[in-house]
Structure 1
C-alpha cells in the first residue's frame, strides 16, 4: 500500500476513518487506517483483541513511538454509535462529505477527527525528533460495554511493566467553540434496579392483597427528595434521577404483584459507588419497615468520580488551546463518563477535543478549520510536553 504523503493532512485522515462504518463492536478497517499512517513514522503497532463471556470480541490498537520516558499517551476510540433513524440524515453517515466548511459523518465529532488531528500532530513532532515516547491507545469498545477495551489494554501494559506518564483523551469536550473547555475529571455514575414485591389481588378486596405501588412511590420520593450535596470546587452537585417506573399491569381491576423502577446517580468526589449503594439501601429498608412488603435491589457502578488536580499538565493544554484559538479554556468535570475513568488509575489524565454539539446526532459534523486547529493544539502540547513544561 502506498505510504501516505507528508505532511499528514488531519482532514484526510478523518475522512478515511469516517468511511469505516465502525459501529460498536465492528472495526470495519478503522484500525488498519491508523496503522497505515502510524507505521511509516516508526510506530510499533500492536493489535490487542479481548473477549469476555456475554460480550462481543473487540479489536484495539496500541501504537508506540520510542521506548524512553517521559511517555505521552493519546487515548481515544474508533467505534461509533449507530446511525439511528437514517431518514433524519441529509448525507450518507459514512461518506465523509465536506459541505460549507464542515465534515459530516458518524464519528466526525466523537471522535475520529480528534484521532486524526493527533496523528497529524505526532507526525510533525516525529519528523523533528524528541526525547521520550508517544503512544496511541485506541479502543473499539468505548461506545459499548467498555469491558474489552481500554481497561484491559491498560492492564496488559501494566502487567509487562509499561508505564504512562501523562494521558490526553480526545473526547469532544468543548461546548460552543473549540478551546472553551478542558475536562480535568468526571462525575461517577451508579445505576440501581429496584423491584418491590407485594401480593396480587382484586381492587375491590384490597384487604386480601398487598399493593407494592405505594411502597415503591414512597421509596422513590424519599430518594429523590434527598439533597446529596451542594457541589465542590471542581464538581457540580450530585443528582439522582428516576429513569423508569414500570408496573406492567394492563388490567384496571387488579392490584399488581410487583412494581419496578430504575434510578441513576451522577455523583462527585464526595461519594463513592459503595457509599451511595449503602445509603439507598438504608432508605429502602426504612420505607419497607414502615409500610411493609419486600424488595430486591441491584446496583452497578459504571465509573467512580475522579479529578486530575489542575496543575502543570492541564496548564500546558490550556496554554496550547489559548495560543491557537485565543480562548482561555474552562476546567470542567461536567458530562457523562468516558474511558478516562479507567486511565486515571494509571496516569494523570485530561480530556480535550472538538465541540460536542452534534455528537451522537443525525448529521454529526465538525468544522474543517477546527480539525486543522486541533492538530495545531495537539502539536503545541506535544512540543511543550517534551520540552518539560508539564513536569515531564
Structure 2
C-alpha cells in the first residue's frame, strides 16, 4: 500500500527557495514525484514563470477532480528577524518553520500526497488533474491563467476544482471559501497650477479638489452586503503631493483607493461610478482629473451545493468541526478557475502566512492530506 508522507514533502518543498517568480526546484521535485506515480506531466512555462500540469487517468473521463495551488512564496524580509532558517524546514515541538510552510507548500504537499496514494491504492473511475503554479504571489499573469489557457488548447477539462489555500482563521476545519470578493485599485491625479501660498489666487490648488473627491468616494455606501458577502468596502490608501515646502501650492495631487466588492458590483460598474464622481469634481473645481484602474479579480460565488457539501462533509468527518461557508479575505487563483469549472477552497489555518517565522503544526499537514483523501474517495464513489 503506497503511503506518501506529506510532512516530508512539505519540508522538501520549503527547502526549495522559490521566492516568486523563481521556481527554486519546487516544480522540478513535484514533476519527478508525480511522473513516477503515473501522472502525465507537462510544464506550462510562460513569461518567465514556471507552471506544472499533471493528469492521471483518461482525458475523456466522465468526471475529473482538480486541485490547484502554488509553490511560489513571498520574500522572507529581514532574515535576521527569523529565529529559524527561512528555508530550513526545521521542526521544533511538532511545528515546522519556513517560508511557505502555511502559504502554501503544505497545502500542495497534502493534495499531491493524497492524489498519489489515491490513484495507486484505489484507482478511480475518472481522472485527476493537478495544476501548480509559480506565479500566485506576484502579478498572477502567467500562472494559473497560463495553465487554464493550456488546458483549453489541449482539450483538458476539470469537472470541479479545489484550491488548497489556507482558509481557516484560527482552528483547523472552521472555514472554507465558496467565493471571493472582487478587488480593484484606482489611481487619481488632479492637475492644478503651482504658486506661492501667500498668493493663493495666483495658483490653482489641487488638494481641495482631491480632498472633495476622496471624501465623496469614501463616504458613499456601496451596499449593505448580500446573502453570501459582507458589505463592499472602499479604502483610501494614499494621498500625496510630493511637496516638502510649506510656502508652495503644488501643481499636482495624487491619490489611490482600493475597493473590495461583492457580487452586486463589477469592476466596470465601479469604474464608471468613480469616473462620474471624478468628472463632477473636475467640473466644480475647473481642474482636470485623470484616473487609472486595475481590476485584480472580479467577485464570484460557487453557490452552496454538491461540491461545497462534499468538502464540508469531509472536513467535519476528519476534524469534528463543521466549516463555515465564507467569501471573506483577499483574492486567490480561484478567481481564474471559476471561469473553467465550479471551485471552492479549503486549507490550513493561515495565521502565520507571510510573517516572519511562518510555521505549520505538522499534525495539520497530515490531517489535511486525510481530508483531501476523503474528498477524493467520496467524490469518485
- The normalised TM-score by structure 1 is 0.95
In structure 2, how many angstroms separate the alpha carbons of the residues matched to 1:289 and 1:49? 48
Which residue in the other structure is 1:105 paired with? 98
Shift of 1:35: 1.7
Q: Which range moved further: 318-327 or 118-127? A: 118-127
Map 1:288-303; keep pairs closer than 5 Å. Answer: 288-303=282-297
CA distance in 1, matches of 2:27, 2:155: 25
Which residues in structure 2 correspond to 1:96-175 (within 5 Å)? 96-127=89-120, 128-175=122-169
Report 1:101-250 matches (<5 A): 101-127=94-120, 128-250=122-244
Instruction: Give me the whole-angstrom Cα distance separating, in 2, the residues matched to 1:161 and 1:328.
Output: 36
Residue among 73, 77, 80 paired with 1:84: 77
Quote the RMSD (CA, aligned, Å). 0.9
4+ runs of 1 displaced by more than 4 Å? none
Quote the Cα distance in structure 2 between the aligned partners of 1:233 and 1:290.
38
* 1:300-379 correspondence runs (5 A): 300-379=294-373
TM-score by length of 2: 0.98
CA distance in structure 2 between the aligned counterparts of 1:119 and 1:73, rounded to whole angstroms: 11
Could you list the per-position Cα deviations for residues 306-364 of structure 1 after superposition, in whole angstroms to 9, with x for gaps in the alignment?
00001011000000000000000000000000110000000000000001100000010
- Map residues 45-64 of structure 1 onto 2, 5 A cutoff: 45-51=41-47, 57-64=48-55
Determine the C-alpha separation between the residues in 1 that align with 2:112 and 2:282.
57
Q: Tell me what 1:69 maps to.
A: 62
Alignment-derived partner of residue 15 in structure 1 = 11
After superposition, give the CA deviation of every residue in 1:222-258 in whole Å (9 maximum; x if it has no partner).
0000000000010010000001111100111110000
Higher mean displacement: 39-48 or 217-226? 39-48
Residue 54 (structure 1) aligns with = none
CA distance in 1, matches of 2:369, 2:173: 12
Q: Counterparts of 2:148 and 2:338 in 1: how far apart (Å)?
A: 11
Deviations 1:176-207 (A, max 9, x none): 11100000000001100100000000111111
The question of whether the paired residues in 1 share the 8 Å contact of 2:40 and 2:54 is answered with: yes
SS in 1 for 2:371: helix
Deviation for aligned residue 1:104: 0.7
- The whole-number CA distance in structure 2 between the counterparts of 1:243 and 1:172 is 26
Bigger CA drift: 302-311 or 119-128? 119-128
How far apart are 1:69 and its partner, in Å? 2.6
Distance in 2 between residues matched to 1:376 and 1:94, nearest whole Å: 26
Deviation at 1:291, TM superposition (A): 2.0
- For residue 216 of structure 2, give the secondary structure of its aligned residue in structure 1: helix
Residue in structure 2 matching 1:28, options 8, 24, 27: 24
Distance of 2:232 and 2:306 partners within structure 1: 28
DSSP-derived class of the 1:50 partner:
coil
Alpha-carbon distance in 1 for matches of 2:181, 2:326: 10
Aligned to 1:269: 263
What is the CA distance between 1:124 and its match in structure 2?
Answer: 2.2
**Tell me, what secondary structure is at the counterpart of 2:335?**
helix
Secondary structure at the counterpart of residue 261 of structure 1: strand
Provide the secondary structure at the position in 1 that maps to 2:238.
Answer: strand
Q: How many residues align?
A: 378
Q: 2 CA distance for matches of 1:126 and 1:133?
A: 9
- CA positional deviation for 1:160: 2.3
Q: List gaps (5 residues or longer) in structure 1.
A: 52-56, 388-392
Distance 1:284 1:36 in 2: 54
SS in 2 for 1:355: coil
Q: After superposing the two structures, state which structure 1 stretch, 368-377 or 281-290, moved more.
A: 281-290
Residue 151 of structure 2 aligns to a residue whose secondary structure is helix
